[in-house]
Amino acid sequence: MTQTNIIQIVQNIVADLKDKPGALLPILHTVQNSLGYVPPESVPTIAKALNLSRAEVHGVISFYHYFRDHAPGKKTVRVCRAESCLAMGGKALESHVKTKLGIDYHETTADGNYSLEAVYCLGNCACSPAIQIDNDVYGRVTAESFNEILTEQSA
């Protein structure tokens, strides 16, 4: 996508949402939903519309774990690192996922298919350990079932 296209998309989103009270997070969410990330070149447009400094907008983007400033892989795998999952073998699952994908947290596979992120609780604690791929949550995940899920996702 060209820079002009990105700016155009961001301008449309900003025009739609800028009058909401506390508009910045809704704008950032919509930008990330549309583009997969919040491109650094969108910051001046957002800042200007909300009468904020670019530093303020950048500060908000960098504060929240969820927002990212570069394009992710086609799908994002999130592995829960919280206590309930740790109690059910989450640590071993985490190692397996990293080995299987061949990447660490905040990295993307060479083929651009998967990004890997940590998450602290998916609210699936009665079915630990849990992972999430995009919006889909998986419970009682084992090394074998993770491999199956990946095959399914790649199909």
Partner 1 sequence: MSITVYVPCDSSAVSLGANRVADAIAQEAQKRGVEIHIVRNGSRGMYWLEPMVEVSTDKGRVAYGAVKTGDVASLFDADFLNGGAHALNLGLTEEIPYLKKQQRLTFARVGITDPVSVEDYVAHDGYRGLKNALSYSQADIVKHVTDSGLRGRGGAAFPTGIKWNTVLNTPSEQKYIICNADEGDSGTFSDRMIMEGDPLVLIEGMTIAGIAVGATQGYIYLRIEYPHAYEILNAAIANAYAANYLGENIQGSGKTFHLEVRQGAGAYVCGEETSLMESLEGKRGLVRFKPPLPAISGLFGKPTVVNNVISLASVPVILDKGGEFYRDFGMGRSRGTLPLQLAGNLKHAGLVELAFGATLREILYDFGGGSATGKPIRAVQVGGPLGSYLPESQFDTPLDYEAFSEIWAVLGHGGIVAFDETVDLAQMAKYSMEFCVEESCGKCTPCRIGSTRGYEVMDEIVNKRDLDKNIPLLRSLCDTMLNGSLCAMGGMTPYPVLSALNHFPEDFGIKAA
Q: Which of 65, 106, 147, 148 binds partner 1 (CB under 8 A)?
A: 65
Interface residue with partner 1 among 40, 44, 59, 102 (CB under 8 A) is: 59
The CA-CA-CA angle for residues 99, 103, 107, to 5°, reads 160
Closer to partner 1 by Cβ: residue 45 or 84: 84
C-beta of 7 vs 23, nearer to partner 1: 23
SS3 string, 8-71, reads HHHHHHHHHHCCCCCCHHHHHHHHHHHHCCCCHHHHHHHHHHHCCCHHHHHHHHHHCCCCCCCC
What is the nearest approach in angstroms of partner 1 to the Cβ of residue 83?
5
Residue 100 Cβ, how far from partner 1 at the closest point, in Å? Answer: 19
Number of residues that bind partner 1 (CB under 8 A): 43
- Give the footprint of partner 1 on residues 30-49 (CB under 8 A): none
User: Would you list the DSSP string of 69-100?
Assistant: SS---SEEEEEE-SHHHHTTTHHHHHHHHHHH
Footprint of partner 1 on 66-125 (CB under 8 A): 66-67, 80, 82-88, 119-125
